[in-house]
Amino acid sequence: MVGIAAWGAYVPRLRLSRKAAASANSWVAPNLMGKAKGERAMANWDEDALTMAVEAGRDALGPGDDRSHIDGLWFASTTAPFADRLNAGIVSAALTLDRRAAAADVTGSQRCGLTALAQALNAVKAGAAKTGLVVAGDHRRARAASPQELDNGDGAAAFVVSNDNPVAELLGHGVHTADFVDHFRGADADFDYQWEERWIRDEGIVKLVPLAVKDALTEAGVEAGAVTHFCFPSVFGGMATTLAKRLGIPAEAVRDNLAGVMGESGCAHGPVMLAHALEEAKAGDVILVAQFGQGAEAFVFKVTEAIADARPARGVSGSLADRKEETNYLKFLFFNDLVEWDRGMRAEKDNKTALTTLYRNEDQILGLVGGKCRETGVVQYPRTRISVSPNNPTVDTQDPYPFAERKASVLTYSADFLTYSMSPPNHYGTIVFEGGGRIFMDITDVEQGDVDTGLPVKMVFRLKEVDEKRGFRRYFWKAAPDRSAQSSTAAIAAE
């Protein structure tokens, strides 16, 4: 039986206070104060739809280095960084998937996260793939002082799809495609253009979503009253409850859409809500997830006994718990490139990427794969033909050695106000890894005073630099505080 074998999620640590944002704009848009409740997920300056999708994929796959079982990858996003480059190829390299694994970008509507999931399920069911990975992430920009700025949130979710003992078996799928334009963004536009709310709600969602849901329930052979969890994202308050009542779904089955603690993460939000439901589901539960966008798409899953042993290390709950409130609205504008500011002369450099070097060293740059000498056991990064072992510099004896999932800590560091940084001071230093090896790299998700020698860190896939002249985005790995390790260390010290 085909279904979801594992899942993961990622929500950025920063949470913009809606009250702070609404208050900053109250002089020009006082109506926004009605939305000044809760917080929305806010990507750091070095995060985007792709980096968040990678982190969600890592959460779904677990900490192991062997990912050869994944032979298909689907990346869904309406805000992918490249219009003409396989974004899924970057995700694949970052996750160190086998190069023989098929990869595809899925885009074009707010329901494309569920569309990608449908493609993966169909591929595995038909035997075109044995184990597929679906990652969905969105980082939607909106005009300053707009309702969308407060409604939106950044995030990602991921699912491993398999025929082998899934935690959630697919029972039914329904889709209804209609060119109902609730909003749109042209190929050369920076922001969405929204249509009138009542039209979207009454003529779009209320009439189109039930068509897909009913087809999914019919295929599943499940009555609406048997649904245990109903996941439907919408920025319109009470929309899911309205649909549930119209469809005959129990009111208690309607899931919190996480609007107050995260916001809506675009095409990733249906998957995020599904991931959140799986975290709280038990064997026998029926999960219905649907999403609206140029029609609608819906799935019905039944949770199996395997759910007891399949919880992700982080998931939606872990991501939501790891939060830092951000009340500086100007920082949000800077991070989202919504204000033109003087970056200083130190930012004036050519960030042209040598594409030949990037390709030849793809696994080292995008996958953080170093080398381990077969003769001496010495671990190093980068991988070179000659080992760095001082007493036995062997030649051509290094095997690939992934660093991304290794435990690490800070050996030395600097907090530099002189070099250009999007979020000063610029933190960087030498990171040492459990099992050997050290890398000099940037440290992210920190502020002045957060970093010290011995700080436990984890590797995160992030944006390194942007070549604004050519429109190229360069990715690499950075160190971020491993707060779970810090908590464990503090607990041990307390005992």
475 lies in a domain?
Answer: yes
Last residue in a domain, options 335, 355, 389: 335
Do residues 456 and 325 both lie within one domain?
no
- Per residue in 281-333, pLDDT tens? 999 999 999 999 999 999 999 999 999 989 999 999 999 999 999 999 999 99
pLDDT at 488: 53
The domain total for the chain is 2
383 lies in a domain?
Answer: no
* Domain housing 422: 403-494
Do residues 183 and 44 both lie within one domain?
yes
Do residues 15 and 155 both lie within one domain?
yes
Average pLDDT for 6-35: 97
- Per residue in 368-417, pLDDT tens? 999 999 999 999 999 999 999 988 999 999 999 999 999 999 999 999 99
- Per residue in 123-180, pLDDT tens? 999 999 999 999 999 999 999 999 999 999 999 999 999 999 999 999 999 999 999 9
Mean pLDDT (the chain, rounded):
95
Do residues 114 and 203 both lie within one domain?
yes
Give yes or no for a contact between 413 and 426, defined as CB atoms under 8 angstroms apart: no
Q: Looking at residue 483, which CATH number applies to its domain?
A: 2.40.50
Do residues 73 and 209 both lie within one domain?
yes
Do residues 307 and 208 both lie within one domain?
yes
368 lies in a domain?
Answer: no
pLDDT at 64: 85
Last residue in a domain, options 300, 335, 370: 335
pLDDT at 391: 87
Q: Looking at residue 159, which CATH number applies to its domain?
A: 3.40.47.10
- Per residue in 323-355, pLDDT tens? 999 999 999 999 999 999 888 888 888 889 999
CA distance 178 to 292: 10
Last residue in a domain, options 335, 365, 387: 335
Do residues 52 and 141 both lie within one domain?
yes
pLDDT reading at 205 higher than 90: yes
Give yes or no for a contact between 250 and 225, defined as CB atoms under 8 angstroms apart: yes
354 lies in a domain?
Answer: no
361 lies in a domain?
Answer: no
pLDDT at 166: 97
Give yes or no for a contact between 379 and 437, defined as CB atoms under 8 angstroms apart: yes
278 lies in a domain?
Answer: yes
Name every residue whose Cβ is closer than 8 Å to that of residue 147 and which is 6 or more positions away in sequence.
Answer: 32, 35
Do residues 42 and 144 both lie within one domain?
yes
441 lies in a domain?
Answer: yes
pLDDT reading at 492 higher than 60: no
Do residues 309 and 448 both lie within one domain?
no
Sheet (strand 369-373) strand order: 379-380, 369-373, 398-402
Do residues 135 and 241 both lie within one domain?
yes
- Per residue in 67-115, pLDDT tens? 999 999 999 999 999 999 999 999 999 999 999 999 999 999 999 999 9
Do residues 306 and 415 both lie within one domain?
no
322 lies in a domain?
Answer: yes
CA distance 220 to 208: 19
H runs (alpha helix) in 17-111: 18-24, 49-61, 87-94
Instruction: Kindly tell me the burial class for residue 36, based on how many C-beta atoms sit within 10 Å of its own C-beta (0-12, 13-18, 19 or more).
Output: middle
Give yes or no for a contact between 314 and 10, defined as CB atoms under 8 angstroms apart: yes
Range 254-292 burial, b when 16+ CB lie within 10 A, else e? bbebbbeebbbbbbbbbbbbbbbbbbebeeebbbbbbbb
CA distance 252 to 156: 26
Do residues 443 and 318 both lie within one domain?
no
